[in-house]
A and B are shown apart, each in its own frame.
Chain A
Amino acid sequence: MADLVDDKGMFRLFFIYSFLLITFAALGQEVLGRKIYYTRDLKSQITFRESMGVRFFGANGSMAENVIKEVSQIDGKINFSFDGRNPVVILCQLYDGKHDFAFLDNGDQVPVCGYKDKSFFISWDLFESKV
Chain B
Amino acid sequence: MKARYRKLIVLRNIFFVTFLLLSGVLLSAEVTIPIPEIKRGHYRYQNSDLEYKISKSDCSVSFDNSSNFGPVRDQDGVGFCWAFAGADLYGEYLCQLDRKYCGKNISVLSGMLAGKNNWKYGIDTQGDGGHILDILEGFMLTGALCEEKYWELPSMDSFFCTLFNKDKKCFRDRMFKIFTQMRNELEKSNNLLECRNKPEKLFEFISEINSLIEHRDISDEVILDFVRENNFEALSKMILVPIDCLKNNINVLDEFGPSAAYDFQVFDVLFYERDFQTDFSRPYKSEPNSRKVNEVIKGFQAGGSVAITYCSKELLKKYPFSNSLKTDHSNLLADNCGNHASVLTGVRWNDKKNRCEVKLRNSWGSGSPLSGWMDAQRVLNTVYKINYMSKKK
A contacts, CB < 8 Å to B: 2-3, 7, 10, 14, 17-18, 21, 25, 28, 31-36, 38-39, 45, 47-48, 50, 55, 74, 76-91, 93, 97-102, 104, 106-114, 118, 120, 122-125, 127-128, 130-131
Contact = CB atoms under 8 A, between A and B. Distances in A.
B9 A2 contact: yes
A40 to B, nearest CB: 8
Contact of B367 (A2, A84, A111): A111
Chain A at the B interface: SS class: mixed
A101 B74 contact: yes
A34 B35 contact: yes
Contacts of A98: 157-159, 162
A32 B34 contact: yes
Interface stretch (B228-236, B255-263, B318-326, B344-352): B318-326
18 contacts: A7-B2, A14-B9, A47-B31, A78-B320, A79-B322, A83-B336, A84-B81, A85-B81, A100-B157, A100-B158, A108-B366, A110-B365, A110-B366, A111-B366, A112-B159, A113-B159, A122-B367, A131-B319
B5 A86 contact: no
A15 B156 CA distance: 55
Interface stretch (B65-73, B243-251, B266-274): B65-73
The residue among A7, A93, A107, A109 with the most chain B CB atoms within 10 A of its own CB is A109
Interface string B30-47: 111111101100100000
Contacts of A125: 36, 367
Interface string B336-373: 10111100000000000000000000011111110000
A82 to B, nearest CB: 6
A87 B71 CA distance: 20
Contacts of A127: 319, 321, 369
A83 B339 contact: yes
Contacts of B336: 81, 83
Contacts of B39: 128, 131
A93 B77 CA distance: 10
A128 B155 contact: no
Nearest to A122: B367
Contacts of B86: none
Given A87-B364, A122-B367, A99 B157 contact: yes
B71 A107 contact: yes
A48 B320 contact: no
Nearest to A46: B32
B75 interface: yes
Given A85-B79, A99-B77, A131-B318, 8 more contacts: A18-B15, A32-B27, A79-B323, A85-B81, A87-B316, A104-B71, A114-B163, A123-B365
B203 interface: no
Contacts of B78: 85
B12 A17 contact: yes
Bin chain B's interface residue count.
35 or more
B276 interface: no
Given A87-B316, A109-B365, A78 B76 contact: no
A107 B363 CA distance: 13
Contact of B340 (A36, A84, A93): A84
B32 A35 contact: yes
A48 B33 contact: yes
Given A99-B159, A100-B155, A80 B365 contact: no
Contacts of A89: 76-77, 156
A55 B365 contact: no
Given A47-B30, A100-B157, A88 B364 contact: yes
A51 to B, nearest CB: 11
B297 to A, nearest CB: 25
Contacts of A76: 320
A101 B338 contact: no
Report the 5 A-B pairs with minimum CB-CB distance, sorted nearest first.
A107-B71, A124-B367, A114-B159, A100-B159, A84-B340
Nearest to B313: A82
Contacts of A120: 159
A21 B39 CA distance: 30
